[in-house]
Structure 1
């Protein structure tokens, strides 16, 4: 017969009746942990129930903006990828850890532990942050919800907070992967003097939402500008993943998957070094079409377009550096330069540091 402490059972019932899902789950986890030694079969059954449990307050319909009536998120019930992603060893290892913890959640809960529930993806555009989130949803067999930032952000900041809360509450209602893209737009530093108090309160709303996120689902925040995030945001995440442009070996792997020979792929990798995965895929598609239309070799066209792009990039980088130096000479701060030119704050610092070194 299962032996359960009367006080534990009473507290569990109280939290369930009051609808405090987070407290209910916490108490249930403690109960499972205590039962593990005396009644492992019951402990396993309860742990499995916790793993599959969804909130009784699930919304039937997606949340919408009160004024425009536009949906606040995009939902994919079954994610299908048009190609298999290529990860760096570090990213592959960390994503593997996430999958392992989610798939073995019952085993963790039997020891009073919880799987990761909140991840932070950092890196420049086009390096695979969104793809990684979609890949996780596919591997875990969960629907993917993506916050539509254009709809959520409102000129009335108080309404923006309401929209963000509505999206998070909807995502908490059932097992899913929720992607908060362009996270820096809604989780900016609260010490930024240019932002009004209402935006700072929005950050507080967001932090509370992350804290209350259930371990039965996965929340992923993606940002191109981690330096803009409020310091309090960082400790809310169980794992941070730094995405970078692919290395030359990774570019070779990408080109090989596109049907290019090892020898040519190795030579082309040097030309396309520094490109993002998104840039590589765009270049490959463009070269394939040009090759078909001109009756030329795909490899030849790809090499030719790569050399042309590289020359243009070098010219554009030179002009960018000139603008950075000119604005800095006018006494404009690094952060303001970054915003004016649409580049990252660290990039400004690197250019000016290199100038001083010369």
Structure 2
């Protein structure tokens, strides 16, 4: 195998696929990046068994010649060394050649490295996915939906199913649901799809989605989603992103959303977020990062936090409106901050049903997002 490639193109491809390289694998070949040279371009692949990323670099694109002098072949190179070497090479072009003992020569300008490679035949094959169910949606929408839900997945493996985000598509409405059993977030969007295209209980690991969001562009170019029983494939320009789907049934979260609210407060998102961030400064080291909220007779919302060994803080927020009964409730400030940062609305509506009942945060500008947070029981 031999080819000469533009260093920037190779660096970008390495950065993309290396997100799937595992640092804690017991399979040595998975610490490497597989490189395959075809007659019309080069493909790089990395995998950690859960996530696999493949990027194709065409020989030419438009007026640009990315790759020259291709002799087809394949090799697996150790990711850590390969990436560092290419990033630090002096020239704009890189020549890679492999001999029959898998020794790879990487040269650029006056610099030359010899790197011991591995046989690409030993690299695990990517899943073969039947592309009969394809959903296309804008990249920036998918990226936003991930950002607005993935923070609420469970980070411990006590209930593995909760470490993923549940996807559902029905009648052109795509919905994401995430919960760690202390909070819940849902995000819906209208997408263009055929009436017969639907899926339910597709649970994708939160870690996979975080990596996917890093390679999604910030524009509205269409990405294709292909979903099977145990794998999802996302196709974006020259990149293929595979992730396993978690086994099991996601809990029915619709039953825990309160239907009868007793109090509704409408607040400026930015002002409320700033107040909670300040109120939580003294509580951060505490066990639950607890902030207390109560409504005063004059219509002002008061936030406070008291950590005896550190100190006390009180914040006042003037809401746009308060309707219903007085509220006195305690909650984990981090959960509230995460929700407010994800809400994407100038004002929010907070709905309470009692001191020990879950409360709901919704944007006032649209109804695509819902956050639910369980209160914290305190002695005060």
Structure with higher RCO (Cα < 8 A, 6+ apart):
1
TM-score (norm 1): 0.25
Q: Which has the higher helix share?
A: 1
TM-score (norm 2): 0.24
